[in-house]
Amino acid sequence: MQIHAKNVVFDYGNTILLDPFEEIASNISSEVANLLRKNGYDVKQKEVVDNWVESNKTVNGPHYSHFSQEEPIIQDFLRRINVKPEDSSFLAPEILLIYRHEFRGFILRNDYTKTKETLEYLKNKDKKLFVWSNDREYGVKSVMKWMGLDSYFDKIISSEEIGVEKPDTEFFRKCLDMCDISVENSVYVGDDPGRDILPAGEVGLKTILYKTEEHKPTSWRRYSTQAKPDAVVKKISDLKEVIV
């Protein structure tokens, strides 16, 4: 199916950038284990990754950036491996700094040519491009800059800026107002049926579900939802054939 739209809105997490958390946690697990060992905690690398992954799945808060990580997530991870609160108070910020340094390096090392080609194709078709994301303002905007994609977008909006998150339909209405665009001429591209596709459709946006083999059902992404996208793509480059 082809979709006519002047404005193309993208989700950020797991749409423009697939979740890098577990790979990054694994990359720094030796450094984190060594830091813990120096402070009296004999923790193996696998324990670091396994417990941190569980904390990342279960700890959430308003506008939390799970890609950039948050200190309360790391505090929970340290609690799971029995780090004393008085030690966690200084270890958590240090581990967060280690993670974010590697996160930035991970983004800079990777190649986003196919995504850039798709965005450039859409811009050459006179489409306006936007990002609307549940995230910290510094999180989504920093990553778009590091990926070399920020210049393609007319506006990048985080939930932190507007004080409301998806799947609240008010998130979409506020973003529409801030971007000065109408639902009739716009399409929303996202990976999450419940948080992206369903509420976007409820406010009148046309919707495209981005579903790759990497997109597995999780506690927050359920494919049994009542959401009915106007189209489904398996690759970002497929948008060149779908959006006209």
Report yes or no: 132 and 9 within 8 Å, Cβ to Cβ: yes
- pLDDT value at position 222? 57
Q: What is the mean pLDDT of residues 142-157?
A: 98
Q: Could you tell me the sign of the dihedral formed by the alpha carbons of 118, 135, 153, 103, in that order?
A: negative
**pLDDT at res. 27:** 98
pLDDT of 214 reads 64
Task: Please name the residue ranges forming H helices in 125-242.
Answer: 137-146, 159-162, 169-179, 198-202, 239-242
Once rounded to an integer, what is the mean pLDDT over residues 78-97?
A: 98
Every domain of the chain and the residues it spans:
7-18+112-242, 21-109
Kindly state the percentage of the chain with pLDDT values over 70.
95
So what's the pLDDT on residue 1?
84
Residue 221 has pLDDT above 90, yes or no: no
Task: Calculate ∠ Cα 216-218-224, nearest 5°.
Answer: 80
Question: What CATH number should be reported for the domain whose range is 7-18+112-242?
Answer: 3.40.50.1000
> pTM of the entire structure?
0.93
| Higher pLDDT pick, 133 / 1 | 133
pLDDT number for residue 212: 84
pLDDT digits (tens, 9 = 90+) for 14-68: 999 999 999 999 999 999 999 999 999 999 999 999 999 999 999 999 999 999 9
| Mean pLDDT of the chain, nearest integer | 95
